[in-house]
Each structure stands twice: as C-alpha cells, then as structure tokens.
Amino acid sequence: MRSSLHSCAAPFPWADYAEIHDPALDDQPVRAFGCEYACRQDWSRWQRAFITVFGIVDLPSRIRARAVLWALQRFSCDHILDVGTGTGVYALYITRDAESRVLALDIDQRRIASVSDISGQLGRIGLTTLCGDDGVLSSLPRAYFSVGLAVEVLQYFPDLPRTLRDLHERLRPGGGLVVHIPVRKEFWPYERTLFDDATLPWLFINAGFEPPEIHQTFGRVALALGRVFSRCASRPAVLAIVYPLLLLGAALIPKFTNSGECRLVIARKPIPNSSTTPLLSE
C-alpha cells in the first residue's frame, strides 16, 4: 500500500488505499508481536505457521520491542511516523488498531515493498509507506504526527542534529519521539554516529525537545539470551524447539537494566507556554 505525498500542508491521503485484499484476513485473531510477518510469500508453510503462532523470529527484536511498546503507551498513537521501518513490525503492530495511522519510511525499496504487500494482504488501510532517505523528512507536514518512532536507525543518518530538528518539527506540541539506539565505542558498518551517556541528552535538547527520559536496555542476561539465539539461528529444527523457551526467558527479565548496551530514549516536544522540566545544566 503506497501513497504519494500530495502536499506538505495537507494530511496524508490515508484513504487512498485501493488494493484488493481478502476481507476474511481482517477477522483473524492477531496475537504475537510481528506475527503479520507470516504473510511474506517467500516463507515455507511451516515457517509461516511458526511465525503466526510465535511472532517474528528474532530474539533481539522481541527484547527491544518490550521497551519500545512500553514507551509508545505513554502517547496517543493516532498518527505515527515510523522512521527506518525495516520489516515494518511496529507499523503493522500499531495499525492493528483501526484508528491508528502510520507512515512507514525506509530507504530500502525492497523492505518498503514487503511492508506494502503485507499491509495490503491484511487490509491495513491505516498504514502508508514511503521510500526515501533522511532528506524526505523536511518535506513532511509540520506538527502533524503525535509520535515519531526511530528504532535502531539514528546512528546511520549523516547529519543527526539536522535529522532530530526535522523530526521535532514534524511532531505536534506534546508529541513524543521514541528512540532505541546502541551505545558502543566502535562504529559498525554504515554507522555515522557513536552515542554516549554524557552527550546523549543534549542531542535532543539542542533539537528543541524537553530533557529526555533515558533507560538502559540489553543487560547481561538479555545479551546471553541473544547469543543462544544466534547459535541456533542457522539450525531451523533446533531453533523451532529453543525459540519458545528463549521468548519465555526474555519475558521474565526486566525491560530495563543498570548496565545495558543500548538506550531507550523518550523525548517530548514542549507545549508552548506550558511549564516544563528545567533544562539539564552543563
């Protein structure tokens, strides 16, 4: 389901959806996070059945989603900008609510096509996709979205301060930006920014946000579970047995830790003339 942007000043044409889909799919119960991903046509029958029951088969993504979905509950998720949507699992999850509207943006045309195909099969009229890089952000309507979502993507933008300012301008007053990022000492391929706890809050404050709420994620136990998942990932039969146990283990650990390798950032756009928390002192 792909819509073009007709005007920066007008809302997105969410109702432009005109693809043919099976209405019976809309009545199927939706359970595990990412189970919509089973609609991908290149999965085998048993893979689709497994994903339908257990959700997307990626343990780090599932651990991360617990924190991200917790943060999203703090906001009205009526219009969401999902930057770097990737497989589209958050966009598809959010649009289970027929009243929610999501614009899923990604630079990868293949991923955008996959998200569009899945949303078309499910009849998710609230999900619009757009293929483009960070330059697209400045063309989107100002003060339109209630939430911006950027999961494991901000480290790839070439001009992060500009990107954060663009995201700030796209949000309504009182709206929030939910971010999940790694904190490490070395670049991974294609990354442009290394984050650290000393400067992280100021990236958002300098972009116009209130002082952000920051939580640490992926502590030792979560990382250990992730290593087990990685060892099993190349052996489907083993993974089919182990994955439900890993999901159970991940559900039992706290969402946040005091010694994590990643950060969940929740930044709110100030409401004009409202009292806000004083800015952090340097």
Domain ranges of the chain: 29-185+192-268
CA torsion through residues 159, 70, 72, 133, sign: positive
Q: Could you give the angle at the alpha carbon of 162 between the alpha carbons of 73 and 65, nearest 5°?
A: 25
> What three-state secondary structure class fits 277?
coil
**DSSP 8-state secondary structure symbol assigned to residue 38:** G
**pLDDT value of residue 274:** 56
Is residue 56 within 8 A of residue 87, CB to CB? The reply is yes
Whether the full predicted model's pTM is greater than 0.75, yes or no, is yes
Per DSSP, the residues of 120-175 read HHHT-TTEEEEE--GGGGGGSPTT-EEEEEEES-GGG-SSHHHHHHHHHHHEEEEE
Burial of 93 (0-12, 13-18, 19+ CB in 10 A): buried
Among the listed ranges 4-18, 77-91, 166-180, which one has the minimum average pLDDT value?
4-18
CATH class, 29-185+192-268 region: alpha beta
What is the three-class DSSP state of 247? helix
State the pLDDT at residue 1: 34
Residue closest to 11 by CA, chosen among 83, 78, 109, 90: 78
Average pLDDT over residues 86-107: 95
Q: Which two tokens stand for residue 148?
A: 């911006």
User: Between 224 and 275, whose confidence is greater?
Assistant: 224
Q: pLDDT digit string (tens) for 202-260?
A: 999 999 999 999 999 999 999 999 999 999 999 999 999 999 999 999 999 999 999 99
pLDDT digits (tens, 9 = 90+) for 38-50: 999 889 999 999 9
